[in-house]
Amino acid sequence: MIHRLVFENLKHRPVRTLLSVVAIGVEVTLILTLVGVSHGVLNDMAARSKGTGADILIRPPDSAGFTFSLTMPEKVVDVVRTQPHVAMATGTFVKYVDSFNSITGIHLDEFNAMSGGLKVKRGRMFESPDEIVVDDVYAQQHHLKPGSTTDLAHLWKVSGIVEEGKLSRTFGDIGALQQLFEARGLVSTIYIKLDNPANIAAVKDELQKLLPNYKVDSIEDFVSLFSVNSVPYIEAFTRVVIGIAVLIGFLVVCLSMYTAVLERTREIGILKALGASPGYIVGILLRETVLLALAGTVVGILMTYGTRMLMATFAPSMPQEIVPDWYATVAGIALAGSIVGALYPGLRAARQDAIEALAYD
Protein backbone atom coordinates (compact mmCIF):
# COMPACT_ATOMS: atom_id res chain seq x y z
CA MET A 1 0.00 0.00 0.00
CA ILE A 2 2.75 2.40 0.94
CA HIS A 3 4.31 1.79 -2.48
CA ARG A 4 1.10 2.90 -4.18
CA LEU A 5 1.10 6.09 -2.10
CA VAL A 6 4.74 6.72 -3.04
CA PHE A 7 4.02 6.13 -6.73
CA GLU A 8 0.90 8.30 -6.69
CA ASN A 9 2.78 11.09 -4.90
CA LEU A 10 5.43 11.09 -7.64
CA LYS A 11 2.72 11.02 -10.32
CA HIS A 12 0.86 13.87 -8.63
CA ARG A 13 3.64 16.38 -9.46
CA PRO A 14 4.99 15.13 -12.79
CA VAL A 15 7.09 18.20 -13.59
CA ARG A 16 8.83 18.19 -10.22
CA THR A 17 9.39 14.45 -10.51
CA LEU A 18 10.72 14.79 -14.06
CA LEU A 19 13.08 17.64 -13.14
CA SER A 20 14.40 15.71 -10.15
CA VAL A 21 14.98 12.61 -12.28
CA VAL A 22 16.75 14.62 -15.00
CA ALA A 23 18.90 16.44 -12.44
CA ILE A 24 19.97 13.13 -10.89
CA GLY A 25 20.48 11.88 -14.45
CA VAL A 26 22.87 14.77 -15.10
CA GLU A 27 24.76 13.82 -11.95
CA VAL A 28 25.06 10.24 -13.19
CA THR A 29 26.01 11.29 -16.73
CA LEU A 30 28.66 13.65 -15.41
CA ILE A 31 30.39 10.78 -13.61
CA LEU A 32 29.93 8.20 -16.38
CA THR A 33 31.13 10.61 -19.06
CA LEU A 34 34.25 11.53 -17.14
CA VAL A 35 35.06 7.91 -16.39
CA GLY A 36 34.16 6.88 -19.95
CA VAL A 37 36.42 9.54 -21.47
CA SER A 38 39.26 8.63 -19.09
CA HIS A 39 38.99 4.97 -20.07
CA GLY A 40 38.45 5.80 -23.74
CA VAL A 41 41.47 8.09 -24.03
CA LEU A 42 43.76 5.72 -22.16
CA ASN A 43 42.64 2.67 -24.13
CA ASP A 44 43.02 4.63 -27.35
CA MET A 45 46.57 5.56 -26.37
CA ALA A 46 47.28 1.94 -25.50
CA ALA A 47 45.89 0.74 -28.83
CA ARG A 48 47.99 3.30 -30.72
CA SER A 49 51.11 2.20 -28.84
CA LYS A 50 50.44 -1.37 -29.93
CA GLY A 51 49.88 -0.03 -33.43
CA THR A 52 53.62 0.61 -33.73
CA GLY A 53 54.11 -3.13 -34.15
CA ALA A 54 56.95 -3.01 -31.61
CA ASP A 55 57.60 -5.70 -28.98
CA ILE A 56 59.78 -3.64 -26.66
CA LEU A 57 60.39 0.07 -26.13
CA ILE A 58 63.19 1.92 -24.42
CA ARG A 59 62.83 5.31 -22.80
CA PRO A 60 65.45 7.60 -21.28
CA PRO A 61 66.48 7.33 -17.62
CA ASP A 62 64.06 8.97 -15.16
CA SER A 63 61.09 8.61 -17.52
CA ALA A 64 57.88 8.45 -15.51
CA GLY A 65 54.41 7.14 -16.33
CA PHE A 66 53.81 6.95 -20.04
CA THR A 67 55.12 10.32 -21.19
CA PHE A 68 57.94 10.84 -23.67
CA SER A 69 59.20 14.21 -22.51
CA LEU A 70 62.84 13.23 -21.96
CA THR A 71 65.44 12.41 -24.58
CA MET A 72 68.43 10.09 -25.02
CA PRO A 73 71.24 9.83 -27.57
CA GLU A 74 70.14 8.40 -30.89
CA LYS A 75 73.33 6.32 -30.90
CA VAL A 76 71.63 3.98 -28.45
CA VAL A 77 69.44 2.82 -31.36
CA ASP A 78 72.56 1.55 -33.15
CA VAL A 79 73.66 -0.32 -30.02
CA VAL A 80 70.21 -1.93 -29.70
CA ARG A 81 70.22 -3.06 -33.33
CA THR A 82 73.34 -5.16 -32.69
CA GLN A 83 71.63 -7.23 -29.98
CA PRO A 84 70.55 -10.81 -30.64
CA HIS A 85 66.91 -11.35 -31.76
CA VAL A 86 66.41 -7.63 -32.54
CA ALA A 87 64.86 -7.61 -36.02
CA MET A 88 64.50 -3.85 -36.27
CA ALA A 89 64.71 -0.76 -34.10
CA THR A 90 63.72 2.84 -34.70
CA GLY A 91 63.87 6.02 -32.68
CA THR A 92 61.13 8.66 -32.46
CA PHE A 93 61.27 12.21 -31.22
CA VAL A 94 58.23 13.69 -29.46
CA LYS A 95 57.73 17.43 -29.10
CA TYR A 96 55.00 18.30 -26.61
CA VAL A 97 53.10 21.48 -27.42
CA ASP A 98 50.80 21.27 -24.40
CA SER A 99 49.15 18.56 -22.26
CA PHE A 100 46.95 17.39 -25.11
CA ASN A 101 48.99 18.07 -28.25
CA SER A 102 52.34 16.82 -29.46
CA ILE A 103 54.09 16.07 -32.72
CA THR A 104 56.07 12.92 -33.31
CA GLY A 105 59.13 12.79 -35.52
CA ILE A 106 59.74 9.44 -37.20
CA HIS A 107 62.14 7.78 -39.64
CA LEU A 108 59.35 7.13 -42.13
CA ASP A 109 60.87 4.06 -43.79
CA GLU A 110 61.78 2.41 -40.48
CA PHE A 111 58.44 3.24 -38.87
CA ASN A 112 56.52 1.93 -41.89
CA ALA A 113 58.52 -1.27 -41.88
CA MET A 114 57.78 -1.89 -38.20
CA SER A 115 54.14 -0.79 -38.04
CA GLY A 116 52.93 -2.01 -41.39
CA GLY A 117 52.93 1.51 -42.77
CA LEU A 118 51.04 4.72 -42.32
CA LYS A 119 48.15 4.59 -44.77
CA VAL A 120 47.61 7.91 -46.52
CA LYS A 121 43.88 8.49 -46.97
CA ARG A 122 44.06 11.95 -48.54
CA GLY A 123 46.96 14.04 -49.88
CA ARG A 124 50.46 12.61 -49.62
CA MET A 125 53.19 11.77 -47.11
CA PHE A 126 55.38 14.61 -45.76
CA GLU A 127 58.32 15.41 -47.98
CA SER A 128 59.76 18.77 -46.95
CA PRO A 129 60.93 19.82 -43.42
CA ASP A 130 57.86 22.03 -42.90
CA GLU A 131 55.34 19.34 -43.75
CA ILE A 132 53.52 16.93 -41.48
CA VAL A 133 50.75 14.37 -41.81
CA VAL A 134 47.92 14.09 -39.29
CA ASP A 135 45.55 11.23 -38.67
CA ASP A 136 41.87 11.43 -39.61
CA VAL A 137 40.71 12.02 -36.01
CA TYR A 138 43.05 14.98 -35.57
CA ALA A 139 42.05 16.32 -38.99
CA GLN A 140 38.35 16.09 -38.12
CA GLN A 141 38.76 17.78 -34.76
CA HIS A 142 40.91 20.63 -36.12
CA HIS A 143 39.12 20.87 -39.48
CA LEU A 144 42.31 20.15 -41.43
CA LYS A 145 42.74 18.93 -44.97
CA PRO A 146 45.76 18.50 -47.24
CA GLY A 147 47.21 21.95 -47.83
CA SER A 148 45.99 23.38 -44.48
CA THR A 149 48.41 24.81 -41.99
CA THR A 150 48.44 24.07 -38.26
CA ASP A 151 50.39 25.52 -35.37
CA LEU A 152 52.14 22.88 -33.29
CA ALA A 153 55.02 24.86 -31.76
CA HIS A 154 55.72 25.77 -35.39
CA LEU A 155 53.52 26.57 -38.36
CA TRP A 156 53.30 23.29 -40.28
CA LYS A 157 51.77 22.53 -43.61
CA VAL A 158 49.56 19.44 -43.61
CA SER A 159 50.58 17.37 -46.63
CA GLY A 160 48.21 14.48 -45.99
CA ILE A 161 45.72 12.70 -43.77
CA VAL A 162 46.65 9.21 -42.58
CA GLU A 163 44.61 6.42 -41.00
CA GLU A 164 44.52 6.56 -37.20
CA GLY A 165 45.84 3.87 -34.87
CA LYS A 166 49.61 4.04 -35.16
CA LEU A 167 51.44 5.66 -32.24
CA SER A 168 50.59 9.35 -32.74
CA ARG A 169 48.06 11.65 -34.36
CA THR A 170 50.70 13.92 -35.94
CA PHE A 171 53.86 12.86 -37.74
CA GLY A 172 56.78 14.74 -39.23
CA ASP A 173 60.31 13.87 -40.33
CA ILE A 174 62.46 13.18 -37.27
CA GLY A 175 65.44 15.03 -38.69
CA ALA A 176 63.39 18.15 -39.34
CA LEU A 177 61.96 18.11 -35.82
CA GLN A 178 65.36 17.48 -34.17
CA GLN A 179 66.78 20.44 -36.05
CA LEU A 180 63.81 22.73 -35.43
CA PHE A 181 63.66 22.02 -31.72
CA GLU A 182 67.43 21.90 -31.19
CA ALA A 183 67.55 18.22 -30.33
CA ARG A 184 70.02 17.00 -32.91
CA GLY A 185 71.05 13.41 -32.24
CA LEU A 186 68.41 12.90 -29.58
CA VAL A 187 65.37 10.64 -29.51
CA SER A 188 62.50 10.23 -27.04
CA THR A 189 61.77 6.53 -27.47
CA ILE A 190 63.26 3.53 -29.20
CA TYR A 191 60.82 0.95 -30.56
CA ILE A 192 62.14 -2.55 -31.08
CA LYS A 193 60.71 -5.45 -33.05
CA LEU A 194 62.09 -8.91 -32.37
CA ASP A 195 62.51 -11.86 -34.64
CA ASN A 196 60.14 -13.83 -32.41
CA PRO A 197 57.74 -12.54 -29.72
CA ALA A 198 58.71 -15.57 -27.61
CA ASN A 199 62.03 -13.84 -26.97
CA ILE A 200 60.53 -10.69 -25.47
CA ALA A 201 61.30 -11.48 -21.81
CA ALA A 202 64.84 -12.62 -22.48
CA VAL A 203 65.71 -9.69 -24.77
CA LYS A 204 64.13 -7.22 -22.39
CA ASP A 205 66.33 -8.55 -19.57
CA GLU A 206 69.42 -8.36 -21.73
CA LEU A 207 68.64 -4.79 -22.82
CA GLN A 208 68.05 -3.77 -19.24
CA LYS A 209 71.48 -5.17 -18.29
CA LEU A 210 73.02 -3.37 -21.24
CA LEU A 211 71.28 -0.06 -20.45
CA PRO A 212 70.82 -0.23 -16.67
CA ASN A 213 69.48 3.31 -16.16
CA TYR A 214 67.04 3.25 -19.07
CA LYS A 215 63.38 2.27 -18.92
CA VAL A 216 63.04 -0.97 -20.84
CA ASP A 217 59.49 -2.28 -21.12
CA SER A 218 57.71 -4.84 -23.21
CA ILE A 219 54.91 -3.15 -25.12
CA GLU A 220 52.40 -5.16 -23.05
CA ASP A 221 53.90 -3.89 -19.78
CA PHE A 222 53.96 -0.37 -21.17
CA VAL A 223 50.29 -0.33 -22.21
CA SER A 224 49.31 -1.72 -18.82
CA LEU A 225 50.40 1.69 -17.51
CA PHE A 226 47.49 3.22 -19.41
CA SER A 227 45.03 2.84 -16.56
CA VAL A 228 43.13 5.39 -14.54
CA ASN A 229 44.87 4.24 -11.37
CA SER A 230 48.30 5.01 -12.78
CA VAL A 231 47.41 8.61 -13.61
CA PRO A 232 47.11 10.43 -10.29
CA TYR A 233 45.50 13.58 -11.67
CA ILE A 234 42.70 11.57 -13.35
CA GLU A 235 41.89 9.84 -10.07
CA ALA A 236 41.87 13.14 -8.20
CA PHE A 237 39.84 14.82 -10.92
CA THR A 238 37.35 11.94 -10.91
CA ARG A 239 36.94 12.30 -7.14
CA VAL A 240 36.33 16.04 -7.48
CA VAL A 241 33.72 15.50 -10.20
CA ILE A 242 32.02 12.76 -8.15
CA GLY A 243 31.96 15.15 -5.19
CA ILE A 244 30.36 17.88 -7.32
CA ALA A 245 27.89 15.37 -8.78
CA VAL A 246 26.90 14.12 -5.31
CA LEU A 247 26.42 17.74 -4.23
CA ILE A 248 24.13 18.35 -7.22
CA GLY A 249 22.08 15.25 -6.37
CA PHE A 250 21.94 16.21 -2.71
CA LEU A 251 20.76 19.76 -3.42
CA VAL A 252 18.20 18.73 -6.03
CA VAL A 253 16.64 16.03 -3.86
CA CYS A 254 16.81 18.19 -0.73
CA LEU A 255 14.97 21.02 -2.51
CA SER A 256 12.50 18.71 -4.20
CA MET A 257 11.64 16.84 -1.00
CA TYR A 258 11.56 20.03 1.03
CA THR A 259 8.95 21.54 -1.27
CA ALA A 260 7.09 18.21 -1.27
CA VAL A 261 6.99 18.19 2.54
CA LEU A 262 5.77 21.81 2.65
CA GLU A 263 3.13 21.08 0.04
CA ARG A 264 2.02 17.92 1.83
CA THR A 265 1.89 19.36 5.32
CA ARG A 266 -1.81 18.57 5.66
CA GLU A 267 -1.36 15.06 4.26
CA ILE A 268 1.40 14.40 6.78
CA GLY A 269 -1.03 15.54 9.47
CA ILE A 270 -3.63 13.10 8.13
CA LEU A 271 -1.14 10.24 8.22
CA LYS A 272 -0.17 11.15 11.77
CA ALA A 273 -3.85 11.24 12.79
CA LEU A 274 -4.18 7.73 11.35
CA GLY A 275 -1.35 6.62 13.62
CA ALA A 276 1.59 6.79 11.21
CA SER A 277 4.85 6.80 13.14
CA PRO A 278 7.73 9.19 12.27
CA GLY A 279 9.47 6.18 10.73
CA TYR A 280 6.49 5.47 8.48
CA ILE A 281 6.46 9.07 7.23
CA VAL A 282 10.23 9.20 6.68
CA GLY A 283 9.87 5.82 4.95
CA ILE A 284 7.46 7.30 2.41
CA LEU A 285 9.88 10.11 1.55
CA LEU A 286 12.87 7.77 1.42
CA ARG A 287 11.01 5.41 -0.91
CA GLU A 288 10.18 8.33 -3.17
CA THR A 289 13.84 9.36 -3.07
CA VAL A 290 15.06 5.88 -3.93
CA LEU A 291 12.67 5.75 -6.88
CA LEU A 292 13.87 9.16 -8.08
CA ALA A 293 17.51 8.09 -7.71
CA LEU A 294 16.99 4.81 -9.57
CA ALA A 295 15.02 6.50 -12.36
CA GLY A 296 17.69 9.22 -12.49
CA THR A 297 20.40 6.57 -12.77
CA VAL A 298 18.63 4.92 -15.73
CA VAL A 299 18.11 8.30 -17.40
CA GLY A 300 21.74 9.22 -16.69
CA ILE A 301 23.00 5.99 -18.25
CA LEU A 302 20.88 6.65 -21.36
CA MET A 303 22.15 10.24 -21.51
CA THR A 304 25.69 8.86 -21.54
CA TYR A 305 25.04 7.56 -25.05
CA GLY A 306 24.18 11.15 -25.97
CA THR A 307 27.37 12.55 -24.48
CA ARG A 308 29.35 9.87 -26.34
CA MET A 309 27.81 11.11 -29.59
CA LEU A 310 28.64 14.71 -28.68
CA MET A 311 32.24 13.79 -27.80
CA ALA A 312 32.63 11.86 -31.05
CA THR A 313 31.40 14.91 -32.98
CA PHE A 314 33.14 17.75 -31.17
CA ALA A 315 36.19 16.07 -29.57
CA PRO A 316 36.93 12.90 -31.55
CA SER A 317 40.45 12.70 -30.14
CA MET A 318 38.86 12.06 -26.72
CA PRO A 319 36.85 8.90 -27.36
CA GLN A 320 34.27 8.08 -24.68
CA GLU A 321 33.69 4.49 -23.68
CA ILE A 322 30.44 3.17 -22.22
CA VAL A 323 31.42 1.80 -18.82
CA PRO A 324 28.81 -0.73 -17.57
CA ASP A 325 31.10 -1.83 -14.73
CA TRP A 326 30.52 1.63 -13.22
CA TYR A 327 26.71 1.43 -13.29
CA ALA A 328 26.38 -0.12 -9.82
CA THR A 329 28.87 2.37 -8.37
CA VAL A 330 27.17 5.36 -9.92
CA ALA A 331 23.74 4.09 -8.78
CA GLY A 332 25.17 3.85 -5.27
CA ILE A 333 26.55 7.38 -5.52
CA ALA A 334 23.21 8.74 -6.79
CA LEU A 335 21.33 6.87 -4.05
CA ALA A 336 23.67 8.06 -1.30
CA GLY A 337 23.51 11.71 -2.38
CA SER A 338 19.73 11.56 -2.75
CA ILE A 339 19.09 9.83 0.56
CA VAL A 340 21.27 12.33 2.41
CA GLY A 341 19.36 15.08 0.59
CA ALA A 342 16.03 13.62 1.74
CA LEU A 343 17.05 13.32 5.38
CA TYR A 344 16.38 16.92 6.47
CA PRO A 345 12.97 17.19 4.74
CA GLY A 346 12.15 13.73 6.08
CA LEU A 347 13.02 14.63 9.65
CA ARG A 348 11.09 17.89 9.30
CA ALA A 349 8.05 15.92 8.15
CA ALA A 350 8.42 13.38 10.96
CA ARG A 351 8.60 16.12 13.58
CA GLN A 352 5.62 18.05 12.26
CA ASP A 353 2.93 18.68 14.84
CA ALA A 354 -0.18 16.75 13.81
CA ILE A 355 -2.66 19.41 14.96
CA GLU A 356 -0.82 22.25 13.18
CA ALA A 357 -0.43 20.08 10.09
CA LEU A 358 -4.15 19.27 10.00
CA ALA A 359 -4.97 22.98 10.29
CA TYR A 360 -2.65 23.82 7.35
CA ASP A 361 -4.38 25.12 4.22
- Could you tell me if 31 and 305 are in contact, meaning their C-beta atoms sit under 8 angstroms apart? no
**Nearest distance from residue 16's CB to another protein, in Å?**
13
Least spacing, CB of residue 318 vs another protein, in Å: 46
Cα angle vertex 293, ends 254, 291, to 5°? 105
Q: Which is nearer to another protein, 11 or 143 (CB)?
A: 11
Considering the complex, state which of residue 6 and residue 335 has its C-beta at the smaller distance from another protein: 6
Nearer to another protein, 123 or 269 (CB): 269
Three-state DSSP string of 315-357: CCCCCCCCCHHHHHHHHHHHHHHHHHHHHHHHHHHHHCCHHHH
Beta strand segments in the chain, E? 56-59, 72-73, 86-96, 102-106, 120-123, 131-135, 149-151, 155-162, 170-173, 186-187, 189-194, 215-218
Q: Which is nearer to another protein, 75 or 266 (CB)?
A: 266
Residue (of 10, 30, 33, 32) closest to 20 by Cα position: 10
Of 273 and 310, which has the nearer Cβ to another protein? 273
Q: What phi, psi does 89 have (nearest 5°)? A: -145, 145
Least Cβ distance, residue 279 to another protein (angstroms): 10
From residue 102, alpha-carbon distances to 78, 99, 186, 204 in Å are 26, 8, 17, 28
Q: How far is the CB of 262 from another protein (least distance, A)?
A: 15
The distance of closest approach from Cβ of residue 29 to another protein in the complex, given in angstroms and rounded to an integer, is: 30
Number of H helices, E strands in the chain: 13, 12
CA 76 to chain centre: 35
Write down the H helix ranges in 275-326.
278-314
Q: List residues binding another protein (CB under 8 A).
A: 1-2, 4-5, 8-9, 11-12, 266-267, 269-277, 280, 354-355, 358
Q: Which is nearer to another protein, 97 or 355 (CB)?
A: 355
* Closer to another protein by Cβ: residue 12 or 145: 12
CB of residue 261 to another protein, shortest distance in Å: 15
Cα 114 to Cα 133: distance, rounded to the nearest angstrom = 18
Residue type, 342: A
Residues sharing a CB contact under 8 Å with residue 311, sequence separation 6 or more, in sequence order? 33, 37, 318, 319, 320
Of 8 and 98, the one with the shorter C-beta distance to another protein is: 8
**Of residues 20 and 33, the one with the C-beta less far from another protein:** 20
Classified as helix, coil or strand, 222 is helix
Residue 269 host element (H or E):
helix 265-273
Count of CB atoms within 10 A of residue 359's CB? 11
Min separation Cβ 359 and another protein, Å: 10
Query: Rounded to the nearest whole angstrom, what is the least distance from the CB of residue 12 to another protein in the complex?
Result: 5
Q: How far is the CB of 317 from another protein (least distance, A)?
A: 51
